[in-house]
Amino acid sequence: MTEAFDLAVIGAGQGGLPAAHMGARLGAKVALIEMHEVGGT
């Protein structure tokens, strides 16, 4: 199975999380990729 996304954000830190949120608010299908905890350090 293949998934299609409009936006892929790597890292859910101080920049990635708001970027993913804004993309979703604008109607994009967003993939948020985070290796550790959401929110960064």
Q: 5-36, pLDDT tens digit by residue?
A: 999 999 999 999 999 999 999 999 999 999 98
pLDDT top residue among 38 and 2: 2
pLDDT score of 39: 79
pLDDT band at 4 (very low <50, low <70, confident <90, very high): very high
* Rounded Cα–Cα distance for residues 2 and 7 (Å): 15
CB-based contacts of 33, cutoff 8 Å, min separation 6:
8, 9, 10, 11, 12
Q: Which residues contact 29 (CB under 8 A, 6 or more apart)?
A: 4, 5, 6, 7
Q: How far apart are CA 38 and CA 33, in angstroms?
A: 10
The DSSP 8-state label assigned to residue 40 in this structure reads -
